[in-house]
């Protein structure tokens, strides 16, 4: 079932990418035809402070396992399959930058995704110190926030194209928990059981970004931010990627759309006697309102 879900998610992502690639190809042809109209990032749009707010129709994939340093981690649980956690959910996001020097920027952003789901489970589920038994109604929650700030520098700065590198901090917060009334063993309980693990830590990230002005009011942005973490009991990969097409219909306002993706693959997390593992993927079509000053 998990493989089928992954294949469906991959198929949806590839399907979404095809029209975006076609659009970008057509825009590349258009940009060559109207090179005289090109201007700086783009045209007469102010470039001191820019920010955007909008949302993403997100497909998600969530797996987690919780145990102890002595007993280890049991089988990882797919939250969408086992607990009917919503696969698709609208996600609101805010990001932008302050262009404070000729080649330097302060980037910032924030995204939050909170999901819950309930189901009478059809299999025993081991989670931390507890075993949730077949037939129990279990409520699962998977919460995440990603505040982000970074210094970015243009190492290539042309009138139509900028390529920049960034170094920043993504303060990752994940919270995963299960709750049930009775039908729980190890130890056996009769009341409500709520077993949860919370992970919060700053993650240094390095990134690359391309900004390309196609016309005076049309631009494309691509970025990729990645880091491999292996310190303080945390080991894994974290990444953010996006491709967006911007259109400014006035000097100070516009819209953009594209594909955003957030991935977390924590192969190991230890805190005290707690040991956990997470795999979390969020991707989808995004739409934003832009503002420039």
The CATH number assigned to the domain holding 288 equals 2.40.128.90
pLDDT given for residue 190 in this prediction = 61
pLDDT recorded at residue 10: 43
7: CB partners within 8 A, 6+ apart: none
pLDDT digits (tens, 9 = 90+) for 43-73: 789 999 999 999 888 888 889 988 877 777 7
Tokens linked to 48:
């001191």
Please state, in angstroms and as integers, the Cα–Cα distance from residue 183 to each residue in 44, 118, 197, following that order.
65, 15, 21
Q: Assess whether pLDDT exceeds 90 at residue 287.
A: yes
> Please, which pLDDT band fits residue 280 given cuts at 50, 70 and 90?
confident
Residues contacting residue 159 through CB under 8 Å, at least 6 positions apart: 38, 39, 40, 213
Higher pLDDT among residues 100 and 184, named by residue: 100
Report the alpha-carbon distance of residue 168 to residue 33 in Å, rounded: 38
217 CB-near residues (< 8 Å, 6+ apart): 42, 43, 45, 247, 248, 249, 254
pTM value is 0.79
**Does residue 24 or residue 98 have the better pLDDT?**
98
Range among 19-23, 101-105, 262-266 rated most confident: 101-105
Q: Is the pLDDT of residue 38 over 50?
A: no
pLDDT in tens, 163-173: 999 999 988 88
Kindly report the average pLDDT of the chain as a whole number.
Answer: 82
Give the range among 39-53, 73-87, 184-198, 216-230 with minimum mean pLDDT.
Answer: 184-198
Domain count, the chain: 1
Residues 196, 128: Cα–Cα separation, whole Å: 8
* Domain carrying residue 53: 2-292
Strand ranges (E), 214-273: 218-231, 234-248, 253-271
Q: Is 172 helix (H, G, I), strand (E, B) or coil?
A: strand
Q: Give the tokens for residue 27.
A: 């825009």
- ω into residue 187 within 30 of 0, thus cis? yes
Instruction: Please measure the distance between the N-terminal and C-terminal CA atoms of the chain and give it in whole angstroms.
Output: 49
Instruction: Identify which has the larger pLDDT, 166 or 123.
Output: 166
């Amino acid at each position: 079932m998990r493989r089928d879900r992954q294949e469906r998610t991959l198929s949806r992502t590839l399907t979404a990418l095809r029209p975006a690639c076609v659009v970008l190809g057509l825009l590349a042809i258009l940009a060559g035809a109207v090179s005289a109209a090109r201007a700086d990032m783009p045209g007469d749009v102010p470039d001191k402070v820019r920010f955007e707010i909008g949302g993403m129709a997100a497909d998600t994939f969530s797996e987690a396992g919780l145990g102890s340093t002595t007993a280890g981690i049991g089988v990882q649980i797919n939250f969408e399959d086992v607990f009917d956690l919503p696969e698709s959910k609208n996600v609101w996001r805010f990001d932008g930058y302050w262009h404070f020097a000729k080649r330097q920027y302060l980037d910032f952003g924030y995204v939050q995704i909170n999901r819950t789901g309930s189901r009478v489970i059809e299999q025993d589920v081991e989670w931390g110190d507890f075993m949730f038994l077949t037939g129990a109604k279990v409520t699962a929650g998977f919460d995440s926030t990603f505040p982000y700030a970074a210094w970015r520098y243009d190492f290539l700065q042309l009138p139509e194209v900028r390529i920049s590198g960034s170094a920043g901090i993504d303060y990752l917060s994940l919270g995963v928990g299960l709750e049930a009334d009775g039908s729980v063993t190890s130890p056996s309980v009769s009341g409500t059981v709520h077993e949860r693990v919370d992970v919060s830590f700053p993650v240094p990230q390095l990134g690359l970004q391309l900004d390309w002005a196609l016309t005076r009011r049309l631009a494309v942005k691509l970025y990729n931010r990645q880091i491999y973490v292996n310190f303080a009991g945390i080991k894994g990969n974290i990444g953010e990627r996006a491709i967006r097409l911007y259109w400014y219909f006035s000097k100070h306002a516009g819209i953009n759309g594209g594909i955003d993706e957030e991935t977390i693959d924590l192969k190991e997390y230890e805190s005290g006697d707690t040991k956990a593992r997470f795999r979390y993927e969020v991707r989808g079509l995004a739409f934003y309102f832009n503002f420039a000053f």
